């Protein structure tokens, strides 16, 4: 299961369950309207916010807006990541 963390406007922010199991570095996936691992962007949350994979769902402008949203919500996202990762162990 890959849980949705929150939605803002047209953007959906979600964790990939595989990432929580296999990676120590926190990340969030971002799509429009739905969760699509093959096409959504992946953003690292640590050590700083940066694009891990641009994906094909978002335009450059949309990706920049999504990055701003992630920056504003980074603390919340890291808390949710750590809570989810604790549940998946």
**Res. 38: pLDDT tops 70:** yes
Range of the domain at 38: 4-88
Domain count, the chain: 1
Q: Rounded to whole angstroms, what are the CA distances from 84 to 5, 9, 33, 34, 60?
A: 10, 23, 22, 20, 29
pTM of the model: 0.91
For residues 17 and 1, the answer to whether their CB atoms sit within 8 Å is: yes
Question: Would you state the structure tokens that stand for residue 56, as one six-digit string?
Answer: 């094909």
Residues contacting residue 20 through CB under 8 Å, at least 6 positions apart:
81, 84, 85, 88
Quote the pLDDT of residue 67.
Answer: 98
Assess whether pLDDT exceeds 60 at residue 89.
no
Give the pLDDT confidence score for residue 15 in this predicted structure.
93
The helix (H) or strand (E) run that includes residue 12 is strand 11-14
HEC-encoded secondary structure of 17-45: HHHHHHCCCCEEEEEECCCCCCCCEEEEC
């Amino acid at each position: 299961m890959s849980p949705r963390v929150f939605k803002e406007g047209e953007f959906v922010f979600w964790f990939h369950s595989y990432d929580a199991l296999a990676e120590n570095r926190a990340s969030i996936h971002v799509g429009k309207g739905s969760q699509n691992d093959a096409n959504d962007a992946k953003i690292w949350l640590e050590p700083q916010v940066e694009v891990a994979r641009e994906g094909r769902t978002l335009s450059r402008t949309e990706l920049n807006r999504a990055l701003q949203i992630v920056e504003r919500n980074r603390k919340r996202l890291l808390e949710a990541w750590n809570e989810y990762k604790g549940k998946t162990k």
